Amino acid sequence: MNNIEAVIAFLAASMGLLLVEPVVLGLMRLLGLYATVEERKCRVYVLFGKVIGEISEPGLHILPFVLGPSAFIVNLLGKCYVLDLRLDQEYLRSQPVNSEEGAPMGIGIWYEMQISNAVAYLFKNTDPRGSLRANVSNATVRCLSNMPLAEMLETRHKMSQTVRDEVSEKSQAWGYQLGSIYIRKVHFRDSGMIRQIEEKVVNRLRQVTSAIKQDGANQVSIITSSAERTAAVAFAQAAVIRPKMIGAALKVISGDPEVADTLFEILETQKMLENKGKLTLFAESGPRPLLAELLASREVGAAG
């Protein structure tokens, strides 16, 4: 029984501590005994319109050691500003500029910034982020206008450095430290000009395609004519060599009269077989005349 009572007492004490702890810690923070600063955060304490302390180091801080006796009333009568010191970034789209040739261009610029001076950020400008945005936009238009179009399309690194040098000094006065600046996009703003450029590009592509096709056809013609010439030369050489070879063969064959007669008889027979003409055979001459035999053969053919 005593063990059960001890367990119940322990559980009750634990629950009580769990419920009392947040309340106690809240009262201690309200009375200014301590403060916890997170990573990349900054706390600025203001009492009666005056900055009495700034804490940017992360960790647990005993406020009376940092702010002095004012720590006990700063949360009651003053104000604590919590600022984010992490690196931030923003992208400005299509800032209007004109090239040296008068072409309406748009520039997209990306930049980084972070709070470098918390007090200046809070009290030197009511909207430091908006002011920095306007400053970057104005510097972009002021520094990059009237540039040659070719240079504007090719030298983005140089343009980024020019804008950064123009903005940095003014942004630091507002508690902002400007980081990297990069020109991400340069484009034409006039839709009519864009269509004209597209038409020129399409026409140029068509010309290049036609030139490639014509060059291919010319190459094929050259190869074909060269092949035909080579074949014609080969056939001419064969036509010249053929009679010589046949003559040499006939000379050898004519050395044996029997072989020569047989060969010519075979050739003559082959020519006769290749011929598609009709062959009429007549009987030997007898007592009947030739016309009567022809008529008789015609009648036999018709009866058949």
Residue-wise pLDDT for 188-236, tens only, equals 887 777 787 788 888 888 888 888 988 888 888 888 888 888 888 888 8
Q: Is 63 exposed, middle or buried (0-12, 13-18, 19+ CB in 10 A)?
A: buried
Q: What is the pLDDT of residue 295?
A: 56
State the virtual CA torsion across 173, 175, 179, 184 in degrees, nearest 10: -80
Tell whether the model's pLDDT for residue 253 goes beyond 50. yes
Which of 139-153, 172-186, 242-256 is least confident?
A: 242-256
Which of 75-89, 95-109, 268-282 is least confident?
A: 268-282
Pairwise pLDDT comparison (275 vs 282), residue with the higher score = 275
Residues 6+ apart with CB under 8 A from 180: 111, 112, 164
Main-chain dihedrals φ then ψ at residue 173, nearest 5 degrees: -70, -20
Cα radius of gyration (the chain):
54
Confidence of residue 103 (pLDDT cuts 50, 70, 90): confident
- Average pLDDT in the 51-67 region? 83
Tokens representing 295 are: 């008529």
Tell me, yes or no, whether 229 lies in a domain. yes
Tell whether the model's pLDDT for residue 283 goes beyond 60. no
Distance CA 24, CA 242 (A): 122
Tell me, yes or no, whether 300 lies in a domain. no
Main-chain dihedrals φ then ψ at residue 37, nearest 5 degrees: -110, 125
Q: How far is CA 14 from CA 4, 17, 26, 39, 284, in A?
A: 15, 5, 19, 31, 148
- Domain holding 212, by residue range, is 195-276
Which of 15-29, 100-114, 194-208, 241-255 is least confident?
A: 15-29
Tell me the average pLDDT of the chain: 78
Which of 26-40, 254-268, 277-291 is least confident?
A: 277-291
Tell me, yes or no, whether 128 lies in a domain. yes
Q: Would you give the distance in Å from CA 93 to the centre of its chain?
A: 20
Tell me, yes or no, whether 294 lies in a domain. no
Pairwise pLDDT comparison (216 vs 255), residue with the higher score = 216
Domain shared by 26 and 64, yes or no: yes
The closest alpha carbon to 142, from 117, 119, 118, 159, belongs to 159
Confidence of residue 297 (pLDDT cuts 50, 70, 90): low
Q: What is the pLDDT of residue 304?
A: 46
Domain shared by 34 and 101, yes or no: no
Confidence of residue 296 (pLDDT cuts 50, 70, 90): low
Tell me, yes or no, whether 281 lies in a domain. no
Q: What is the pLDDT of residue 180?
A: 84
Tell whether the model's pLDDT for residue 88 goes beyond 60. yes
- Average pLDDT in the 107-125 region? 86
The closest alpha carbon to 54, from 177, 172, 175, 169, belongs to 175
Tell me, yes or no, whether 283 lies in a domain. no
Distance CA 276, CA 52 (A): 127
Confidence of residue 58 (pLDDT cuts 50, 70, 90): confident
Contact 165, 181 (CB under 8 A): no
Tell whether the model's pLDDT for residue 290 goes beyond 60. no
Distance CA 105, CA 190 (A): 8
Tell me, yes or no, whether 222 lies in a domain. yes
Domain shared by 237 and 162, yes or no: no
Domain shared by 94 and 183, yes or no: yes
Tell me, yes or no, whether 282 lies in a domain. no
Distance CA 37, CA 60 (A): 7
Main-chain dihedrals φ then ψ at residue 26, nearest 5 degrees: -60, -40
β-strands 50-55, 41-47 pairing: antiparallel
The closest alpha carbon to 171, from 199, 138, 147, belongs to 138
Residue 131: give its domain's CATH number. 3.30.479.30
Q: Considering its fold, how many domains does the chain have in total?
A: 3
- Average pLDDT in the 271-280 region? 67
